[in-house]
Structure 1
Amino acid sequence: MLANSATYQITWEKLPDDFVLDDEPVDNINQPPLAAALTESLELAGKLPVNSLTTTNYGICATLNNKIVIKAPDWGYVASIRVPRDEVIRSYTPQLQGEIPIIVMEFISDTEGTEYSSKPTYPPGKWFFYEQVLKVPNYAIFEPSHGTLEVYKLDNLGNYELQTPDANNRYSITQMNLFLGIWEGIRENRDGFWLRWWDETGELLLWGSEAATQERQRAETEKQRADRLAQQLRDAGIEPA
Protein backbone atom coordinates (compact mmCIF):
# COMPACT_ATOMS: atom_id res chain seq x y z
CA MET A 1 0.00 0.00 0.00
CA LEU A 2 1.50 3.32 -1.06
CA ALA A 3 0.73 6.44 0.90
CA ASN A 4 -0.02 9.61 -1.03
CA SER A 5 2.72 12.18 -0.86
CA ALA A 6 2.19 15.38 1.06
CA THR A 7 4.39 18.36 1.73
CA TYR A 8 5.14 18.60 5.40
CA GLN A 9 7.83 20.32 7.36
CA ILE A 10 8.62 17.68 9.94
CA THR A 11 10.21 18.78 13.20
CA TRP A 12 10.83 16.96 16.45
CA GLU A 13 9.71 18.96 19.45
CA LYS A 14 8.97 18.12 23.04
CA LEU A 15 5.30 17.86 23.86
CA PRO A 16 4.32 20.97 25.88
CA ASP A 17 3.65 20.22 29.53
CA ASP A 18 0.17 21.72 29.25
CA PHE A 19 -0.77 19.69 26.16
CA VAL A 20 -3.98 17.77 26.87
CA LEU A 21 -3.63 14.11 25.91
CA ASP A 22 -6.59 11.93 25.06
CA ASP A 23 -7.72 10.04 28.14
CA GLU A 24 -9.69 7.24 26.57
CA PRO A 25 -9.76 3.58 27.63
CA VAL A 26 -8.20 0.95 25.38
CA ASP A 27 -10.48 -0.45 22.69
CA ASN A 28 -11.07 -3.87 24.25
CA ILE A 29 -10.00 -6.31 26.94
CA ASN A 30 -7.52 -8.13 24.68
CA GLN A 31 -5.11 -5.27 24.08
CA PRO A 32 -3.43 -4.91 27.50
CA PRO A 33 -2.57 -8.63 27.92
CA LEU A 34 -1.36 -8.93 24.32
CA ALA A 35 0.98 -6.00 24.82
CA ALA A 36 2.16 -7.11 28.27
CA ALA A 37 2.99 -10.58 26.97
CA LEU A 38 5.27 -9.14 24.27
CA THR A 39 7.20 -7.07 26.79
CA GLU A 40 7.43 -9.73 29.51
CA SER A 41 9.17 -12.33 27.35
CA LEU A 42 11.69 -9.77 26.11
CA GLU A 43 12.50 -8.76 29.68
CA LEU A 44 12.87 -12.33 30.95
CA ALA A 45 15.15 -13.17 28.03
CA GLY A 46 17.43 -10.24 28.84
CA LYS A 47 16.53 -8.49 25.60
CA LEU A 48 15.41 -5.17 27.05
CA PRO A 49 18.48 -2.93 27.38
CA VAL A 50 18.37 -0.47 30.25
CA ASN A 51 17.82 2.46 27.86
CA SER A 52 15.18 0.74 25.72
CA LEU A 53 11.50 1.65 25.77
CA THR A 54 8.40 -0.45 25.17
CA THR A 55 5.14 1.38 24.67
CA THR A 56 1.47 0.46 25.03
CA ASN A 57 -1.18 2.95 23.90
CA TYR A 58 1.40 5.65 24.55
CA GLY A 59 1.82 8.80 22.50
CA ILE A 60 4.59 9.01 19.91
CA CYS A 61 4.89 12.55 18.61
CA ALA A 62 6.02 14.60 15.65
CA THR A 63 5.29 18.16 14.59
CA LEU A 64 4.00 18.67 11.04
CA ASN A 65 3.86 22.24 9.76
CA ASN A 66 3.89 23.44 13.37
CA LYS A 67 0.99 21.16 14.34
CA ILE A 68 1.57 18.38 16.85
CA VAL A 69 0.59 14.88 15.75
CA ILE A 70 0.34 12.05 18.28
CA LYS A 71 -0.31 8.40 17.51
CA ALA A 72 -0.48 5.71 20.17
CA PRO A 73 0.29 2.27 18.72
CA ASP A 74 -0.94 -0.69 20.71
CA TRP A 75 2.67 -1.78 21.18
CA GLY A 76 6.03 -0.40 20.15
CA TYR A 77 9.72 -0.90 20.79
CA VAL A 78 12.44 1.74 20.90
CA ALA A 79 15.96 0.35 21.20
CA SER A 80 17.48 3.42 22.81
CA ILE A 81 16.31 6.65 24.40
CA ARG A 82 18.78 9.45 25.13
CA VAL A 83 17.00 11.20 27.98
CA PRO A 84 16.10 10.21 31.56
CA ARG A 85 12.95 8.12 31.75
CA ASP A 86 11.10 10.77 33.73
CA GLU A 87 11.28 12.96 30.61
CA VAL A 88 9.23 10.49 28.57
CA ILE A 89 6.51 9.68 31.10
CA ARG A 90 3.73 11.36 29.10
CA SER A 91 4.94 10.91 25.53
CA TYR A 92 7.95 10.25 23.34
CA THR A 93 9.40 12.35 20.52
CA PRO A 94 11.80 10.37 18.29
CA GLN A 95 14.99 12.05 17.09
CA LEU A 96 14.73 14.58 19.93
CA GLN A 97 14.58 12.07 22.81
CA GLY A 98 15.96 8.94 21.21
CA GLU A 99 15.76 6.62 18.25
CA ILE A 100 12.90 5.94 15.86
CA PRO A 101 10.90 2.90 17.04
CA ILE A 102 12.13 -0.35 15.49
CA ILE A 103 8.59 -1.72 15.34
CA VAL A 104 5.06 -0.55 16.05
CA MET A 105 2.02 -2.81 16.24
CA GLU A 106 -1.70 -2.33 15.97
CA PHE A 107 -4.19 -4.90 17.24
CA ILE A 108 -7.32 -4.73 15.11
CA SER A 109 -10.40 -4.21 17.25
CA ASP A 110 -12.89 -2.63 14.84
CA THR A 111 -13.82 -2.58 11.18
CA GLU A 112 -12.95 1.04 10.47
CA GLY A 113 -9.56 0.17 9.06
CA THR A 114 -7.73 3.02 10.76
CA GLU A 115 -4.59 0.85 10.90
CA TYR A 116 -4.40 1.12 7.10
CA SER A 117 -5.18 4.82 6.81
CA SER A 118 -2.72 6.52 4.47
CA LYS A 119 -4.56 9.83 4.72
CA PRO A 120 -1.83 12.45 4.19
CA THR A 121 -3.75 15.57 5.20
CA TYR A 122 -3.75 16.77 8.79
CA PRO A 123 -4.27 14.87 10.98
CA PRO A 124 -2.61 12.09 8.99
CA GLY A 125 -3.64 8.45 9.20
CA LYS A 126 -1.72 5.87 11.19
CA TRP A 127 -0.19 4.19 8.15
CA PHE A 128 1.00 7.51 6.72
CA PHE A 129 2.39 8.61 10.08
CA TYR A 130 4.35 5.42 10.72
CA GLU A 131 5.57 5.06 7.13
CA GLN A 132 6.14 8.57 5.83
CA VAL A 133 6.70 10.64 8.97
CA LEU A 134 8.33 8.38 11.57
CA LYS A 135 9.67 5.92 8.97
CA VAL A 136 9.34 3.01 11.39
CA PRO A 137 11.12 0.08 9.68
CA ASN A 138 8.62 -2.59 10.81
CA TYR A 139 4.83 -2.29 11.11
CA ALA A 140 2.75 -5.24 12.35
CA ILE A 141 -1.04 -5.48 12.17
CA PHE A 142 -2.53 -8.30 14.25
CA GLU A 143 -6.11 -9.52 14.25
CA PRO A 144 -6.33 -11.51 17.52
CA SER A 145 -9.77 -13.05 17.03
CA HIS A 146 -8.69 -15.11 14.02
CA GLY A 147 -4.93 -15.05 14.56
CA THR A 148 -3.94 -13.24 11.39
CA LEU A 149 -0.72 -11.24 11.26
CA GLU A 150 0.60 -8.88 8.62
CA VAL A 151 4.14 -7.53 8.84
CA TYR A 152 5.28 -4.67 6.64
CA LYS A 153 8.83 -3.43 6.14
CA LEU A 154 10.06 -0.22 4.60
CA ASP A 155 11.42 -0.88 1.11
CA ASN A 156 14.21 1.04 -0.62
CA LEU A 157 11.73 3.70 -1.70
CA GLY A 158 10.50 4.26 1.86
CA ASN A 159 7.15 2.53 1.39
CA TYR A 160 5.74 -0.38 3.38
CA GLU A 161 5.95 -3.75 1.63
CA LEU A 162 4.02 -6.77 2.89
CA GLN A 163 6.38 -9.53 4.02
CA THR A 164 6.08 -13.27 3.43
CA PRO A 165 6.59 -15.42 6.55
CA ASP A 166 9.34 -18.03 6.68
CA ALA A 167 8.84 -21.80 6.72
CA ASN A 168 7.88 -21.59 10.41
CA ASN A 169 5.28 -18.90 9.66
CA ARG A 170 7.37 -16.27 11.44
CA TYR A 171 8.70 -12.88 10.42
CA SER A 172 12.26 -11.72 10.90
CA ILE A 173 12.61 -8.46 12.81
CA THR A 174 16.25 -8.05 11.87
CA GLN A 175 16.98 -5.00 14.02
CA MET A 176 16.06 -7.04 17.12
CA ASN A 177 17.62 -10.34 16.00
CA LEU A 178 14.25 -11.92 16.70
CA PHE A 179 11.34 -13.49 14.89
CA LEU A 180 7.70 -12.56 15.43
CA GLY A 181 4.91 -15.08 15.02
CA ILE A 182 1.58 -16.37 16.27
CA TRP A 183 1.06 -18.81 19.15
CA GLU A 184 -2.24 -20.27 20.29
CA GLY A 185 -2.91 -21.12 23.92
CA ILE A 186 -3.90 -19.88 27.36
CA ARG A 187 -2.38 -17.05 29.39
CA GLU A 188 -4.06 -15.09 32.18
CA ASN A 189 -7.36 -16.94 31.55
CA ARG A 190 -7.40 -15.81 27.92
CA ASP A 191 -7.56 -18.72 25.48
CA GLY A 192 -6.69 -17.56 22.00
CA PHE A 193 -4.02 -16.27 19.66
CA TRP A 194 -0.97 -14.39 20.90
CA LEU A 195 2.04 -12.71 19.36
CA ARG A 196 5.30 -14.36 20.46
CA TRP A 197 9.03 -13.89 19.97
CA TRP A 198 11.52 -16.53 18.86
CA ASP A 199 15.30 -16.06 18.87
CA GLU A 200 17.64 -16.70 15.96
CA THR A 201 18.06 -20.35 17.00
CA GLY A 202 14.30 -20.93 16.90
CA GLU A 203 13.85 -20.99 20.69
CA LEU A 204 10.62 -19.49 21.99
CA LEU A 205 11.09 -16.61 24.44
CA LEU A 206 9.20 -17.75 27.52
CA TRP A 207 6.75 -15.95 29.76
CA GLY A 208 7.31 -16.04 33.50
CA SER A 209 4.67 -18.73 34.10
CA GLU A 210 6.25 -20.93 31.43
CA ALA A 211 9.73 -20.45 32.84
CA ALA A 212 8.46 -21.39 36.30
CA THR A 213 6.78 -24.52 34.93
CA GLN A 214 9.94 -25.45 33.06
CA GLU A 215 11.99 -25.05 36.23
CA ARG A 216 9.56 -27.22 38.24
CA GLN A 217 9.76 -29.92 35.58
CA ARG A 218 13.56 -29.72 35.60
CA ALA A 219 13.64 -30.02 39.39
CA GLU A 220 11.23 -32.98 39.32
CA THR A 221 13.31 -34.72 36.65
CA GLU A 222 16.44 -34.20 38.71
CA LYS A 223 14.71 -35.52 41.84
CA GLN A 224 13.57 -38.63 39.98
CA ARG A 225 17.08 -39.20 38.69
CA ALA A 226 18.51 -38.83 42.20
CA ASP A 227 15.87 -41.22 43.60
CA ARG A 228 16.70 -43.84 40.97
CA LEU A 229 20.40 -43.55 41.71
CA ALA A 230 19.77 -43.89 45.47
CA GLN A 231 17.66 -47.02 44.90
CA GLN A 232 20.36 -48.52 42.70
CA LEU A 233 22.88 -47.97 45.51
CA ARG A 234 20.55 -49.60 48.05
CA ASP A 235 20.03 -52.55 45.73
CA ALA A 236 23.80 -52.93 45.66
CA GLY A 237 23.97 -52.90 49.47
CA ILE A 238 25.20 -49.33 49.72
CA GLU A 239 23.34 -46.84 51.82
CA PRO A 240 23.33 -43.41 50.07
CA ALA A 241 24.97 -40.61 52.03
Structure 2
Amino acid sequence: MIARLDTARINHEPLVTWEPLPKDFQLEDDPVENDGQSLLAGALRESLELSGFIQPQMFIVSNFGLCATIDDRIVVKAPDWLYVPSTNPSELMRRSYTPHAEGEPVAIVMEFLSQIDGSEYSVKRSFPPGKWFFYEQILKVPIYVIFEPESGLLEFYQLQNERYELILPDPDGRHWIAEMNLFLGTWRGEKEGRSGYWLRWWDESGTMLPWAVEQIEQERHRAEQERQRAEQERQQKERLMAYLRSQGIDPDSLPASNE
Protein backbone atom coordinates (compact mmCIF):
# COMPACT_ATOMS: atom_id res chain seq x y z
CA MET A 1 0.00 0.00 0.00
CA ILE A 2 2.81 2.40 0.88
CA ALA A 3 4.55 1.63 -2.41
CA ARG A 4 1.38 2.41 -4.35
CA LEU A 5 0.98 5.72 -2.52
CA ASP A 6 4.59 6.69 -3.24
CA THR A 7 4.15 5.85 -6.92
CA ALA A 8 1.00 7.95 -7.08
CA ARG A 9 2.86 10.86 -5.49
CA ILE A 10 5.75 10.56 -7.94
CA ASN A 11 3.42 10.39 -10.95
CA HIS A 12 1.29 13.30 -9.75
CA GLU A 13 0.82 15.84 -12.53
CA PRO A 14 1.19 19.29 -10.96
CA LEU A 15 -1.61 21.82 -11.43
CA VAL A 16 -0.02 24.93 -12.90
CA THR A 17 -1.75 28.30 -13.00
CA TRP A 18 -0.45 31.69 -14.11
CA GLU A 19 -1.21 34.41 -11.61
CA PRO A 20 0.71 37.65 -11.14
CA LEU A 21 2.64 37.83 -7.90
CA PRO A 22 0.54 39.38 -5.10
CA LYS A 23 1.75 42.83 -4.08
CA ASP A 24 2.30 41.71 -0.51
CA PHE A 25 4.31 38.61 -1.50
CA GLN A 26 7.71 38.71 0.17
CA LEU A 27 10.40 37.89 -2.37
CA GLU A 28 13.57 36.28 -1.12
CA ASP A 29 16.49 38.67 -1.18
CA ASP A 30 19.12 36.32 -2.58
CA PRO A 31 22.33 38.19 -3.37
CA VAL A 32 24.28 37.55 -6.56
CA GLU A 33 26.89 34.95 -5.66
CA ASN A 34 29.79 36.92 -7.13
CA ASP A 35 30.40 40.05 -9.19
CA GLY A 36 31.39 37.93 -12.19
CA GLN A 37 27.79 36.83 -12.66
CA SER A 38 26.52 40.41 -12.94
CA LEU A 39 29.34 41.27 -15.36
CA LEU A 40 28.47 38.28 -17.58
CA ALA A 41 24.78 39.19 -17.62
CA GLY A 42 25.48 42.88 -18.24
CA ALA A 43 27.83 42.11 -21.12
CA LEU A 44 25.17 39.99 -22.84
CA ARG A 45 22.65 42.83 -22.69
CA GLU A 46 25.15 45.55 -23.60
CA SER A 47 26.00 44.17 -27.03
CA LEU A 48 22.31 43.59 -27.77
CA GLU A 49 21.52 47.21 -26.92
CA LEU A 50 24.34 48.61 -29.03
CA SER A 51 23.30 46.49 -32.02
CA GLY A 52 19.75 47.85 -31.88
CA PHE A 53 18.31 44.41 -31.14
CA ILE A 54 16.33 45.31 -28.02
CA GLN A 55 12.79 46.60 -28.63
CA PRO A 56 10.42 48.19 -26.07
CA GLN A 57 8.19 45.11 -25.83
CA MET A 58 11.10 42.79 -25.01
CA PHE A 59 12.06 41.81 -21.50
CA ILE A 60 15.72 41.07 -20.83
CA VAL A 61 16.86 40.97 -17.20
CA SER A 62 19.22 39.17 -14.85
CA ASN A 63 18.71 37.62 -11.41
CA PHE A 64 14.98 38.31 -11.74
CA GLY A 65 12.06 36.30 -10.39
CA LEU A 66 10.06 34.04 -12.72
CA CYS A 67 6.76 32.96 -11.21
CA ALA A 68 4.24 30.16 -11.50
CA THR A 69 1.66 28.76 -9.13
CA ILE A 70 2.01 25.00 -8.67
CA ASP A 71 -0.73 23.19 -6.78
CA ASP A 72 -1.82 26.54 -5.29
CA ARG A 73 1.67 27.37 -4.07
CA ILE A 74 3.70 30.20 -5.58
CA VAL A 75 7.12 29.27 -6.92
CA VAL A 76 9.72 31.88 -7.82
CA LYS A 77 13.07 31.17 -9.47
CA ALA A 78 15.60 33.84 -10.44
CA PRO A 79 17.80 32.79 -13.39
CA ASP A 80 21.02 34.69 -14.01
CA TRP A 81 19.71 35.89 -17.40
CA LEU A 82 16.41 35.60 -19.25
CA TYR A 83 14.78 36.76 -22.46
CA VAL A 84 11.08 37.25 -23.19
CA PRO A 85 10.23 38.33 -26.78
CA SER A 86 7.14 40.35 -25.83
CA THR A 87 5.46 41.42 -22.60
CA ASN A 88 2.28 43.31 -21.82
CA PRO A 89 2.78 47.05 -21.21
CA SER A 90 3.16 47.92 -17.55
CA GLU A 91 3.13 51.34 -15.91
CA LEU A 92 4.69 49.96 -12.75
CA MET A 93 8.21 48.69 -12.24
CA ARG A 94 8.10 44.91 -12.37
CA ARG A 95 8.96 42.94 -9.24
CA SER A 96 8.66 39.63 -11.06
CA TYR A 97 7.38 38.08 -14.27
CA THR A 98 4.61 35.52 -14.69
CA PRO A 99 4.47 34.03 -18.22
CA HIS A 100 1.07 33.98 -19.96
CA ALA A 101 -0.39 36.37 -17.38
CA GLU A 102 2.01 39.23 -18.16
CA GLY A 103 3.09 38.43 -21.69
CA GLU A 104 4.63 35.70 -23.81
CA PRO A 105 6.40 32.63 -22.41
CA VAL A 106 10.07 32.92 -21.56
CA ALA A 107 12.22 32.04 -24.61
CA ILE A 108 15.63 31.61 -22.97
CA VAL A 109 16.98 31.21 -19.45
CA MET A 110 20.66 31.10 -18.53
CA GLU A 111 22.41 30.02 -15.38
CA PHE A 112 26.06 30.75 -14.59
CA LEU A 113 27.54 27.98 -12.48
CA SER A 114 29.31 28.63 -9.23
CA GLN A 115 31.09 26.37 -6.79
CA ILE A 116 28.48 27.14 -4.14
CA ASP A 117 25.30 25.79 -5.69
CA GLY A 118 24.20 22.89 -7.85
CA SER A 119 20.49 23.60 -8.19
CA GLU A 120 20.80 24.32 -11.92
CA TYR A 121 20.56 20.56 -12.57
CA SER A 122 17.95 19.78 -9.93
CA VAL A 123 14.92 17.81 -11.15
CA LYS A 124 13.32 17.81 -7.70
CA ARG A 125 9.54 17.82 -8.11
CA SER A 126 8.45 18.42 -4.52
CA PHE A 127 8.05 21.95 -3.19
CA PRO A 128 10.11 23.97 -3.81
CA PRO A 129 10.99 22.32 -7.14
CA GLY A 130 14.48 22.32 -8.63
CA LYS A 131 15.43 24.80 -11.32
CA TRP A 132 15.77 22.20 -14.09
CA PHE A 133 12.33 20.79 -13.34
CA PHE A 134 10.82 24.28 -13.08
CA TYR A 135 12.24 25.52 -16.40
CA GLU A 136 11.61 22.26 -18.27
CA GLN A 137 8.28 20.97 -16.94
CA ILE A 138 6.54 24.06 -15.55
CA LEU A 139 7.65 27.05 -17.62
CA LYS A 140 8.62 24.87 -20.61
CA VAL A 141 11.36 27.31 -21.64
CA PRO A 142 12.55 26.31 -25.16
CA ILE A 143 16.25 27.00 -24.48
CA TYR A 144 18.16 26.48 -21.25
CA VAL A 145 21.82 27.55 -21.17
CA ILE A 146 24.21 26.53 -18.39
CA PHE A 147 27.58 28.28 -18.49
CA GLU A 148 30.64 27.52 -16.38
CA PRO A 149 32.69 30.76 -16.45
CA GLU A 150 35.91 29.29 -15.06
CA SER A 151 36.31 26.57 -17.71
CA GLY A 152 34.27 28.21 -20.47
CA LEU A 153 32.03 25.14 -20.77
CA LEU A 154 28.74 26.04 -22.43
CA GLU A 155 25.85 23.57 -22.16
CA PHE A 156 23.02 24.36 -24.56
CA TYR A 157 19.76 22.49 -23.94
CA GLN A 158 16.71 22.62 -26.20
CA LEU A 159 13.24 21.44 -25.30
CA GLN A 160 12.41 18.45 -27.49
CA ASN A 161 9.47 16.13 -26.78
CA GLU A 162 8.98 17.88 -23.43
CA ARG A 163 12.54 17.11 -22.30
CA TYR A 164 15.78 19.07 -22.48
CA GLU A 165 18.24 17.63 -24.98
CA LEU A 166 21.89 18.67 -25.10
CA ILE A 167 22.66 20.35 -28.44
CA LEU A 168 26.21 20.28 -29.77
CA PRO A 169 27.69 23.50 -31.20
CA ASP A 170 28.39 24.12 -34.88
CA PRO A 171 31.96 23.86 -36.29
CA ASP A 172 32.64 27.41 -35.06
CA GLY A 173 31.66 26.44 -31.53
CA ARG A 174 28.42 28.43 -31.59
CA HIS A 175 24.70 27.75 -31.22
CA TRP A 176 22.10 29.26 -33.53
CA ILE A 177 19.10 30.75 -31.69
CA ALA A 178 16.28 31.17 -34.18
CA GLU A 179 14.17 33.08 -31.63
CA MET A 180 16.77 35.87 -31.70
CA ASN A 181 18.28 35.36 -35.16
CA LEU A 182 21.67 35.28 -33.46
CA PHE A 183 24.45 32.85 -32.57
CA LEU A 184 25.56 32.33 -28.96
CA GLY A 185 29.06 31.16 -28.13
CA THR A 186 32.03 31.65 -25.82
CA TRP A 187 34.90 34.09 -26.13
CA ARG A 188 38.00 34.56 -24.02
CA GLY A 189 39.23 38.04 -23.17
CA GLU A 190 39.04 40.93 -20.73
CA LYS A 191 36.31 43.37 -19.82
CA GLU A 192 35.86 45.61 -16.78
CA GLY A 193 38.85 44.07 -15.05
CA ARG A 194 37.62 40.49 -15.47
CA SER A 195 39.80 38.23 -17.60
CA GLY A 196 38.40 34.89 -18.70
CA TYR A 197 35.55 33.34 -20.62
CA TRP A 198 32.46 35.27 -21.66
CA LEU A 199 29.24 34.54 -23.51
CA ARG A 200 29.02 36.52 -26.76
CA TRP A 201 26.54 37.07 -29.59
CA TRP A 202 27.25 36.78 -33.34
CA ASP A 203 24.91 37.83 -36.13
CA GLU A 204 23.89 35.52 -38.97
CA SER A 205 26.89 36.60 -41.05
CA GLY A 206 29.27 35.53 -38.27
CA THR A 207 30.15 39.04 -37.06
CA MET A 208 30.47 39.35 -33.30
CA LEU A 209 28.28 42.00 -31.69
CA PRO A 210 30.69 44.45 -30.03
CA TRP A 211 30.71 45.86 -26.53
CA ALA A 212 30.86 49.63 -26.09
CA VAL A 213 34.63 49.73 -25.61
CA GLU A 214 35.09 47.59 -28.74
CA GLN A 215 32.72 49.76 -30.74
CA ILE A 216 34.63 52.88 -29.69
CA GLU A 217 37.89 51.22 -30.74
CA GLN A 218 36.36 50.24 -34.09
CA GLU A 219 35.21 53.84 -34.68
CA ARG A 220 38.65 55.11 -33.71
CA HIS A 221 40.25 52.65 -36.12
CA ARG A 222 37.91 53.71 -38.95
CA ALA A 223 38.61 57.38 -38.23
CA GLU A 224 42.36 56.73 -38.29
CA GLN A 225 42.06 54.85 -41.58
CA GLU A 226 40.09 57.77 -43.06
CA ARG A 227 42.71 60.25 -41.81
CA GLN A 228 45.49 58.20 -43.37
CA ARG A 229 43.58 57.95 -46.67
CA ALA A 230 43.04 61.72 -46.73
CA GLU A 231 46.72 62.30 -45.94
CA GLN A 232 47.79 59.98 -48.76
CA GLU A 233 45.55 61.83 -51.21
CA ARG A 234 46.97 65.18 -50.06
CA GLN A 235 50.55 63.99 -50.49
CA GLN A 236 49.74 62.50 -53.90
CA LYS A 237 48.20 65.81 -55.01
CA GLU A 238 51.25 67.75 -53.78
CA ARG A 239 53.59 65.46 -55.72
CA LEU A 240 51.51 65.92 -58.86
CA MET A 241 51.52 69.72 -58.45
CA ALA A 242 55.30 69.72 -57.95
CA TYR A 243 55.79 67.56 -61.03
CA LEU A 244 53.66 69.87 -63.20
CA ARG A 245 55.59 72.90 -62.02
CA SER A 246 58.88 71.11 -62.78
CA GLN A 247 57.59 70.74 -66.35
CA GLY A 248 56.81 74.44 -66.60
CA ILE A 249 53.08 73.97 -66.24
CA ASP A 250 51.08 76.13 -63.87
CA PRO A 251 48.60 73.76 -62.16
CA ASP A 252 46.22 76.66 -61.49
CA SER A 253 45.91 77.32 -65.23
CA LEU A 254 44.61 73.85 -65.97
CA PRO A 255 40.83 73.48 -66.55
CA ALA A 256 38.94 72.17 -63.55
CA SER A 257 37.94 68.51 -63.57
CA ASN A 258 34.27 67.69 -64.06
CA GLU A 259 34.49 64.92 -61.46
TM-score range for the pair, normalised by the shorter chain length: over 0.9
The number of equivalent residue pairs is 234
Residue 25 of structure 1: aligned partner = 31
Using the size of structure 2 for normalisation, the TM-score is 0.87
Using the size of structure 1 for normalisation, the TM-score is 0.94
Residue 169 of structure 1: aligned partner = 173
Residue 119 of structure 2: aligned partner = 114
Equivalent residue of 1:81, what SS? coil
Residue 218 of structure 1: aligned partner = 222
Q: Say yes or no: does 1:135 pair with 2:140.
A: yes
Residue 129 of structure 2: aligned partner = 124
Q: Which protein, 1 or 2, shows the higher relative CO under an 8 Å CA cutoff with sep ≥ 6?
A: 1
| Ranges in structure 1 where 5+ consecutive residues have no aligned partner | none
Pairwise CA distance, 1:22: 1.1
Report sequence identity in percent: 52
Q: Say yes or no: does 1:195 pair with 2:204.
A: no
User: Does structure 2 retain, via aligned residues, the 8 Å contact 1:6–1:120?
Assistant: no
Q: Distance in 2 between matches of 1:94 and 1:110?
A: 30
- Superposition RMSD on alpha carbons, in Å? 1.4
Q: Distance in 1 between matches of 2:68 and 2:191?
A: 36
| Ranges in structure 2 where 5+ consecutive residues have no aligned partner | 1-9, 243-250, 252-259
Amino acid at match of 2:173: N
Pairwise CA distance, 1:33: 0.5
Pairwise CA distance, 1:110: 2.1
Could you say which structure has the larger radius of gyration?
A: 2
Matches within 5 A, 1:37-52: 37-52=43-58
Residue 56 of structure 1: aligned partner = 62
Residue 102 of structure 1: aligned partner = 107
Pairwise CA distance, 1:84: 1.4
Amino acid at match of 2:159: L
Which aligned segments of 4 or more residues in structure 1 are displaced greater than 4 angstroms? none
Pairwise CA distance, 1:112: 3.9
